[in-house]
Chain A
Amino acid sequence: MKKSFGGLARNYQFGFSDPEKYVFKSEKGLSPKVVEKISALKGEPSWMREFRLRALTVFEEKPRPTWGADLSGINFADIYYYLRPTDRLVGSWDAVPSTIRRTYERLGIPRAERAFLAGVKAQYESEVVYGSLKEALARQGVIFLGMDEALARYPDLVREYFGTVVPPQDNKFAALNSAVWSGGSFVYVPAGVRVALPLQAYFRINARKMGQFERTLIIAEEGSFVHYVEGCTAPVYSVDSLHAAVVEIIVKRGARVRYTTIQNWSRNVYNLVTKRAWVGAEAVMEWVDGNLGSKVTMKYPSVYLMGKGARGEVLSLAYADSGQWLDAGAKAIHAAPYTSSLIISKSVSRGGGRTSYRGLLEIQPGAEGSRSHVRCDALLLDPRSRSDTYPTMRVSERRSSVEHEATVTRVGEEQLFYLRSRGIPENEAISLVVNGFVEPIVKNLPLEYAIELNRLIELEMEGSVG
C-alpha cells in the first residue's frame, strides 16, 4: 500500500490523482456572477440564490481571521469554486463513471458499504456522484440524500433548517461556504427511528486549485438515533486546495447523534470547517473528530446545549507532522440547566509539526447544575515539534462545575529504551506509544475505522526514525 510521492507527503497513500474531466468547471475566482452561475446550474429556488448572494457579501466584508493557524497562503482569486465531474447522480456503483469509480475502489469504499454501512454518499469535487440507502430505512422515513438533491426534493424541509445553526455571519469561511456550497449530505431521521448502522459520506478532491465546499445538515427528530461518518482524501499537488465545509446538526429532545470524521487530506489542503450542533432537552450530541492530514486545519466542533439535561461530547484527535499546523478543539455552550459536556482532545506532533488546542467553554446565567469536563493532552515526539493550548472559559453561573486538565508529554528516551529492551524496534515502539496515547479516542470509533487509524499512524511512523 505504501507509495512514495516525493518529500511532500511521505507515506500518504491516497495521493494518486485522476486526469481532470469535467462537464462543467466554473471560472477561477469569486464573484456574484460565479455564485449565480452555480445556483442556476443547480436550478435552485430563488431564496437559495439570494441566500448565496447575501453570504458572498458577508464573506467579502469579513477579514481573514488573524488568530490561529497561518492562512495567508490562501489566494481566493486563484481557486476554482465549482467543478461538476459528471452530469448525474447514480444509485449503483456500476453506473459511476469508471475513472471516479476506480478512485473510490482504491479507497476501499464499495467494499466497506457492503460490509457495514446503512447508506453511502460519495462526493467527487463539488457533486455527490453516488448515493444509496438501505431500503428498510427509507421505508421508515429516513432521508439520506446529497444536499442538492434534498433541496430539489424537500425544499420546505431544507429551508426550515438550512443556515439556522451556522449562519453565514458566523465566520468568513462559513460565509464562503454559504455562497458557493455544493454537495454534502442531508439526513433526516423521523421521531423514534434508530439507524443501527452508520451512514457514511466520502469526500474526495481530485482537481488542482479546487475548493470543496460541501454543506451537511442532519436533523434528528425526538428520540431518534443516527451515526454519521465522513472520510476525506485528496491527491498530492504542489498547489494548495481549499476545503471549507459547514455541518449543521439539530438534535431534538431525547435524540442522539454521533458524527465521526476521519480527515486524511493530503498535505496541501487548507481544511477550515465549521461544525455545530443544536442540542435539545435530554438529547445527546457526540463529535468524534480524527484529523491526520491537511496543511492547515482549523476546526472546533461545537455543541450548543439548549434544552434542560442536554449533553455534548467532543472527542478530537490531531496528528501534525512536518509542515502541518492543526489548530483544533471544541466549543461547548451551556444555555440550559443541568446540561453537561465532555471534551477530550489528544494531539500528537512530530517532525516539527504543530498542534493547538483551542477551546471555548461557556456556562450562561441560569444554566444551573451544569457540568463540564475538559481534558487536553499533547504528545510531542521530538523537540522540534510544538503544541499549544488556548482554553477560554466564561462561567456566568455559580451553581455549575467546570474541570479542566491539560498535559504535555514527550516521548522519553527511557520509555523507548524500556520498550526496545523487550525486542520491539524503535519505530514500532513509537507507534505503540502513539497508539496508546490516542486509544481513548480510537476506542470510540467503529472497529473498521479504529483499525484504519492505527494503521495510518503506523504508516506515518515508517521510515521516520534515522
Chain B
Amino acid sequence: MRKIKDLKGRDRKIAKLTKSELKIENLRVSAEGKEIIKGISLEVEAGEVHALMGPNGSGKSTLAQALAGHPNLHVSGEVSLGGKVISRLKPEERARAGLFLAFQYPIGTEGVSLFNFLKTARRNQGQDSSPATFLSELKACVSKVGLKESFLKRDVNLDFSGGEKKRSEVLQALVLKPKIAIFDEIDSGLDLDALKLIAKTIRGLAEAGAGVLVITHYQRILNYLAPDFVHVLVDGRIVESGSADLAKRLEERGYQSYR
C-alpha cells in the first residue's frame, strides 16, 4: 500500500481530504490553572506511526488525556478526526468517532470482566456482531498480545500485573479498531519479548490503516516499531520533528540540548 507520506503535492492534498486523520491545531491545555501544553500542531495520517518523545513533566500524558477528552482539562485550539472537530466532544463521543487512548495507568473496575467491558464498549460503537463472531474475534486478538483466553474472565485491570495491563490496553485497541490510536507509555513494565510483540502488534494496527501516536521516554520500543515520524516535546511545545533517526540521536545526547 502506498502511504500518504510518500505522495507529493497535489496527490497528497487529495489523499488527505479522503483519509481519516488526526489534526491538532494550536492546542493549548491547562490543568488547575496551569498551562501545560503551550500550543501544539500535529497531523497524523492513516497508516502512519508517529512517536512523541520527551522528558518527564514535558506534558506528554496531559496531551494524550486532553485528546481523549479528560473532563478536568481546559483546552483551546482545535482537534479534528477525519475532518470532524472532536475537541468539544465528550470522551465517549470521541471514542465513537474513532479515537482510542491506551492509558499509562489503566484503572480497574471490580466485578466487570474484561470480556464484559469489551462487549459493552463494542455495543456502544454500534457494532452489533453476534456473540459467536465477537468471541472468535476476541480470541484471535488475545493471542496477538500474548494473553490467554481465560484472561478475558478477569476483572478489568484488577490484579493485572504491569505487563498484563499494557497487553490488555493493546488488546482493546485491536478489538475497538480505532482510526487513531494513542499509546501512552505502552512500553513501561514490559520485558524485551513482550516489547517486541507489542511493537509488532501496534505496527500491525497502522498497516491495517490506523493512525498511531506512541508516547514514550525511551528509544527502545522505537527500534521495533520503526516510526515514520518522531517529535520531541519539551515544556509543552514540540521542539523538533524528524524521521526515526531523530530518536536515535536523542538517545545519544538526551533532552538536555533543548533546555
Contacts and interface: CB of A to CB of B under 8 A. Distances in A.
Contacts of A412: 107
A423 B111 contact: no
B90 interface: yes
A44 interface: no
A440 B70 contact: no
Contact of B107 (A418, A435, A440): A418
A374 B155 CA distance: 22
Nearest to A441: B111
B112 interface: yes
Interface centre among A422, A429, A433, A439 (most CB of B within 10 A): A422
Interface in A415-462: 415, 417-426, 428-429, 432-433, 435-440
B244 interface: no
Given A417-B71, A418-B106, A436-B155, A424 B124 contact: yes
A415 B109 contact: yes
A422 B72 contact: no
Contacts of A419: 109, 117
B125 A420 contact: no
Contact of B109 (A420, A432, A440): A432
B137 interface: no
Given A417-B70, A418-B103, A423 B110 contact: no
B92 interface: yes
B121 A424 contact: yes
B111 A439 contact: yes
A413 interface: yes
Given A413-B72, A432-B120, A420 B112 contact: no
Contacts, number: 78
Contacts of B121: 422-424
B230 interface: no
Contacts of B59: none
Interface string B60-95: 000001001111100000000000000000111011
Contacts of B155: 436
A87 interface: no
Interface in A379-422: 412-415, 417-422
B95 A440 contact: no
B109 A423 contact: no
B111 A435 contact: yes
A91 to B, nearest CB: 41
B86 to A, nearest CB: 13
Interface in B207-249: none
A437 B108 CA distance: 12
Given A417-B70, A417-B91, A423-B95, A436 B112 contact: yes
Contacts of A418: 103, 106-107
Interface string A6-29: 000000000000000000000000
B111 A422 contact: no
Given A420-B90, A421-B69, A424-B121, A433 B109 contact: yes
A438 B91 CA distance: 26
Nearest to B97: A423
Interface in A122-161: none
A438 B111 contact: yes
A419 B107 CA distance: 9
A419 B103 CA distance: 11
B116 to A, nearest CB: 8
Contacts of B145: none
B79 to A, nearest CB: 14
B120 A424 contact: yes
Contact of B92 (A425, A432, A437): A425
B176 interface: yes
Contacts of B71: 413, 417
Nearest to A346: B111
Nearest to A409: B110
A426 B92 contact: yes
A423 B69 contact: no
B96 interface: yes
Contacts of A415: 107-109
Given A435-B111, A436-B155, A440-B111, A423 B103 contact: no
B52 interface: no
Contacts of B90: 420, 425-426
Contacts of A417: 65, 68, 70-71, 91
A175 B56 CA distance: 68
Given A417-B70, A417-B91, A424-B124, A436 B101 contact: no
Given A413-B71, A417-B70, A428-B124, A422 B95 contact: yes
B96 A436 contact: no
A429 B155 CA distance: 15
A432 B107 CA distance: 14
B172 interface: yes
Contact of A423 (B70, B72, B92, B107): B92
Contacts of A429: 92
A425 B70 contact: no
B101 A421 contact: yes
A423 B106 contact: no
Contact of A437 (B106, B110, B120): B110
Which of B68, B109, B124 is packed against the most chain A CB atoms within 10 Å?
B109
A421 B91 contact: yes
**9 A-B pairs with the lowest CB-CB distances in the bound complex, closest first:** A436-B111, A439-B111, A423-B95, A436-B112, A420-B91, A422-B121, A423-B124, A418-B107, A420-B92
Given A421-B103, A423-B121, A423-B125, 20 more contacts: A415-B107, A415-B108, A417-B65, A417-B91, A418-B103, A419-B117, A420-B90, A420-B91, A421-B68, A421-B101, A422-B95, A422-B172, A423-B95, A426-B90, A428-B120, A433-B109, A435-B111, A436-B155, A439-B110, A440-B111
17 contacts: A412-B107, A415-B108, A415-B109, A417-B65, A420-B90, A420-B92, A421-B69, A421-B101, A422-B172, A423-B92, A423-B176, A426-B90, A429-B92, A435-B111, A436-B110, A436-B112, A437-B111
